[in-house]
Amino acid sequence: MSFDHLPPVLQSAFAEKGYETLTPVQAAVSEADAAGRDLIVSAQTGSGKTVAFGIALADELLGAVGDMPLVDRPLALIIAPTRELALQVSRELEWLYAKAGLRIATCVGGMDPSKERRNLAQGPAIVVGTPGRLRDHLERGALDLSGLIAVVLDEADEMLDMGFRDDLEEILDASPDQRRTLLFSATMPQGIVRLAERYQSDALRLSLAGDTRGHGDIAYEAISVAPSDVENAVVNLLRYHEAETAICFCATRDNVRRLHATLQNRGFDVVALSGEHSQSERNQALQALRDGRARVCVATDVAARGIDLPNLTLVVHVEVPRDAETLQHRSGRTGRAGKKGTAAIIVPYNRRRRIEGMLRGARIEAQWMDAPSPEQIRAMDRERLMEKLLAPVEAEEADVALAAELIDKMSPLDIATALIAAHRAKMPMPEELIPNTPEARERVKAEMQRPGFEDVVWFKLGVGRRQNAGPRWILPLLCRRGHITRNEIGAIRIGQHETFFQVPRHIAPKFEDALARTAGGDDEQDAIPITFSPEGPREQARQNKKQGGAKFAVKPARGGPDDRPRGVKPYPTKAMRDGKPGPNFGGKAKKPHRGKR
């Protein structure tokens, strides 16, 4: 779609940015039937949502300010879940409304609140901020919402997930009833629907997420590696792609710290982002990525939303995402605004089934492959070096004179060899990886096996998650009933209504004898059946599926396998949270005595 229907100041801004057309979400909000209405917009990350709500508000904002860009009260309020996203929104709106001279104030946690209050007093037409900081300014009287004509909730689903409902409701309740309310969200859970019903009127629903959750401009790669080779695979992926900017996602701060140190020691220009870094440190890290002083960022999921790096072409999932939504938001840092990107998921051998299920659930087609080998990396280095050296250059006279002097003293072959060696010296060396063969996988599996558990048998416990089964009270129960130590118990697999666990084969007879002697004791837990299982949990699940039982997935009817009395809650009791045996499978739990009120 062309820009002819947009206000002239926006047309000029798009022309200067080099935009040729609007994205689908931007075109949808600029249609005539969306003008002046409340909107619920469902669109994927990286689809241009920030510019979209800038377009949606343009006619009213520009009409309200006229020739006087400074206003006595803010006209539009943009609420975002994270500091990074709020800062990104401010940057996008600044260039979009630069020709109109609109002032924009940003209010986020981690910044100087007194400076923000001064900015709010200087007549900004648009205020962008995070829920907690905006609520703080509102309660202190620094933020006047009485003049608002529109409120935008960006990534509304994430704000609800992060527990900002009370902040959002207080802010929306303090704004005028006649305002427009625009909800932008990648997903539409029930919380968003209820929020829309309360604070919107005759809202227009625009769903532009498509039939697939995967991003069309992102190529997904699933890299199968040995568990001990994860960091080596990261090194080889970074070397193979040589992306201008790349992000490596880890699950915890400790893992971010460790991988950051590893890559730094290997010679990569790398920065780190996690919850332990201050806002100033985050800003410096992001600026280093934008300036090109750093090319790799190691981050936790705190950076999965709100970071927009124009040259980011590679996302590496160093640790398996916890769910499909996390996979989507991490990967969505690349493949933005029509540009292509790659999302590589490093999959240890023992996590492949989980990743395959996650990809199916997310409707993402990933190409399974091995991590790049040193030979493949050297071949890519050769192609990149040849392309770089054969490209035409404009040399200064001093450089030409130096080149002529080198030719007099050295042969062309020696000069080229020295140039290649100098180029290669700057690059981290690739890693040799364990080959991805059946023999290698079996060898790795054997190495990961706990000593003494090379030959095991399965036993079955007659309770599962429906009866609040958890390792913290299952382990003491098994040790007491079977007269063994916790070091003699292997893997534990908790299903919906039963739990499987491993015992070394050589102690299984002694274990069964002890079970027979301790069964039927006075303790309520002694009534739980513990029996030998000729099949493990995986084989049992396959058999249940063939028989149509779906034993591990179907919620039983009242009086079914879990036989939990009416009124007993399905979450752990306080005794279980404290690590004491006390499941609720035998009767109602007694309420603790709280003393006088």
pLDDT digits (tens, 9 = 90+) for 55-79: 999 988 988 887 776 788 899 999 9
Q: Which phi and psi angles does 392 have, rounded to 5°?
A: -65, 145
The share of the chain scoring above pLDDT 90, in percent, equals: 29
Average pLDDT over residues 293-297: 93
Residue 55 sits at the vertex; the CA angle it makes with 106 and 10, to the nearest 5 degrees, is 95
**What token pair was written down for 543?**
């058999």
The β-bridge relationship of strands 499-504 and 218-225 is unpaired
Question: What pLDDT does residue 55 have?
Answer: 92
Question: What pLDDT does residue 573 have?
Answer: 40
CB atoms within 10 A of CB 570: 11
Nearest to 342 by CA among 232, 231, 238: 238
Can you tell me the distance from the alpha carbon of 454 to that of 449, in angstroms, rounded to the nearest whole number? 7
Lowest average pLDDT, out of 253-257, 468-472, 540-544, goes to 540-544
Mean pLDDT of the chain: 82
Can you tell me the distance from the alpha carbon of 75 to that of 123, in angstroms, rounded to the nearest whole number? 10
Question: What pLDDT does residue 209 have?
Answer: 60
| Chain centroid offset of residue 367 CA | 20
Average pLDDT over residues 499-514: 91
Query: Whole-prediction pTM value?
Result: 0.61
pLDDT band at residue 592 under the 50/70/90 scheme: very low
Asked if pLDDT for residue 105 goes beyond 80, the answer is: yes
Question: What pLDDT does residue 288 have?
Answer: 92
pLDDT digits (tens, 9 = 90+) for 192-204: 788 888 889 888 9
Q: At what angle do helices 253-266 and 230-241 cross, to 10 degrees?
A: 60
- The answer to whether 75 touches 147, Cβ cutoff 8 Å, is yes
Question: What pLDDT does residue 211 have?
Answer: 44
- The answer to whether 473 touches 582, Cβ cutoff 8 Å, is yes
Give the burial class of 97: count Cβ atoms within 10 A of its Cβ; 0-12 exposed, 13-18 middle, 19 or more buried: buried
Asked if pLDDT for residue 525 goes beyond 80, the answer is: no
State the amino acid at position 201 in one-letter form: S
Long-range contacts of 9-18 (CB under 8 A, 24+ apart): 9/62, 9/97, 9/99, 9/100, 10/54, 10/55, 10/58, 10/96, 12/99, 13/95, 13/96, 13/97, 13/98, 13/99, 16/95, 17/95
Asked if pLDDT for residue 344 goes beyond 50, the answer is: yes
Asked if pLDDT for residue 296 goes beyond 90, the answer is: yes
The domains located in the chain, with CATH, are 8-207 (3.40.50.300), 218-373 (3.40.50.300), 456-577 (3.30.70.330)
Count, residues in the chain: 597
Nearest to 149 by CA among 91, 63, 89: 63
Question: What pLDDT does residue 283 have?
Answer: 83
**What token pair was written down for 341?**
């990107």
Asked if pLDDT for residue 350 goes beyond 50, the answer is: yes
